[in-house]
Amino acid sequence: MKLFYSDASPYSRCVRLVIRHLGISGVDEIMTNPMDNGEDLLEINPLGKIPCLQLNDGAPLFDSEVILRYLDSEFGEDQLFGFRGHNWIAESHFSLIKGLIDSAVSLSQEQMREEEGKRSPFWTGRFEQALLRGLQHIEQTGLAVSPGLTIHQICLGCLLGYIDFRHGELEWRKVAPALAVWLSDFEHLPAMKATRPS
């Protein structure tokens, strides 16, 4: 299998972390800048987005959630998601974390517009407030607390790592101090260390 990924992408990091946690071998990780519109990526993903996993038969899987669910189903016996069926609360919690990753990435994209003098204070504030509200909600619901590693924790760890990497000015630890303590332990996992953006 081939995984097209970006080092800084929190979506890619979630996938790479799961690969390591589940001990999946035979995955060739290819660092890719999706903005380059490289032929190898566009041939398998017309959206030109990462991560994209090309299976051994050549079939592509894109969208990080699809890839994560595939890896967990094929190699993890559903241990990470574990809420198949009709656990709508758990599904909503997963969507919340995904939405926060989206907000963090959108905030990065908005900051890139600053060089052109086109950065929007409205959208910057909206994304920042969504992140702070969402993390406060996660702290209150105790999503990080679990007897075993879950997809919620993996994506949450990648989200918080990305915020620290790209948005160090966002003082999220003030609204979610328990999450800050949790992250200080979680980021020492070997898979987290191996996928830390540089």
Domain count, the chain: 2
- pLDDT more than 70, % of the chain: 97
144 shares its domain with 101: yes
The predicted pLDDT at position 116 comes to 67
Please tell me the distance from the alpha carbon of residue 53 to that of residue 3, in angstroms, as a whole number: 5
The predicted pLDDT at position 85 comes to 64
Please tell me the distance from the alpha carbon of residue 121 to that of residue 118, in angstroms, as a whole number: 9
Question: Which of helix, strand or coil describes residue 29?
Answer: strand
99 shares its domain with 70: no
19 shares its domain with 92: no
The predicted pLDDT at position 118 comes to 84
The predicted pLDDT at position 83 comes to 61
130 shares its domain with 156: yes
Please tell me the distance from the alpha carbon of residue 2 to that of residue 30, in angstroms, as a whole number: 7
The predicted pLDDT at position 84 comes to 61
128 shares its domain with 164: yes
- Residue at 83 is within a domain: no
Q: What digits encode the pLDDT tens for the residues 22-68?
A: 999 999 999 999 999 999 999 999 999 999 999 999 999 999 999 99
The CATH number given to whatever domain includes residue 157 is 1.20.1050.10
42 shares its domain with 114: no
- Residue at 159 is within a domain: yes
DSSP per-residue string spanning 67-130? HHHHHHHHHSTTTTT--TTT-HHHHHHHHHHHHHHHHHHHHHHHHHGGGGT---HHHHHHHHHH
The predicted pLDDT at position 113 comes to 84
What's the mean pLDDT when you consider all of the chain? 94
Please say which residue of 12, 42, 75 terminates a domain.
75
67 shares its domain with 95: no
Residue 111's domain comprises 88-194
96 shares its domain with 189: yes
Cβ 53 vs Cβ 67: under 8 Å: yes
The predicted pLDDT at position 177 comes to 97
64 shares its domain with 96: no
Residue 62 φ/ψ, nearest 5 degrees: -130, 160
Q: What digits encode the pLDDT tens for the residues 174-193?
A: 999 999 999 999 999 999 99
- Residue at 117 is within a domain: yes
| Res. 88: pLDDT tops 70 | yes
Would you place residue 87 in the very low, low, confident or very high pLDDT band (cuts 50, 70, 90)?
confident
The CATH number given to whatever domain includes residue 18 is 3.40.30.10
109 shares its domain with 177: yes
Q: What's the helix, strand, coil split of the chain in %, to 5?
A: 60, 5, 35
12 shares its domain with 104: no
- Residue at 81 is within a domain: no
Structure pTM?
0.94
Please say which residue of 75, 108, 135 terminates a domain.
75
Mean pLDDT of all residues in 121-136: 96
Residue 4 φ/ψ, nearest 5 degrees: -90, 125
Please say which residue of 75, 105, 137 terminates a domain.
75
Looking at per-residue pLDDT, the higher value among 63 and 82 belongs to 63
Would you place residue 3 in the very low, low, confident or very high pLDDT band (cuts 50, 70, 90)?
very high
| Res. 172: pLDDT tops 90 | yes
- Residue at 82 is within a domain: no
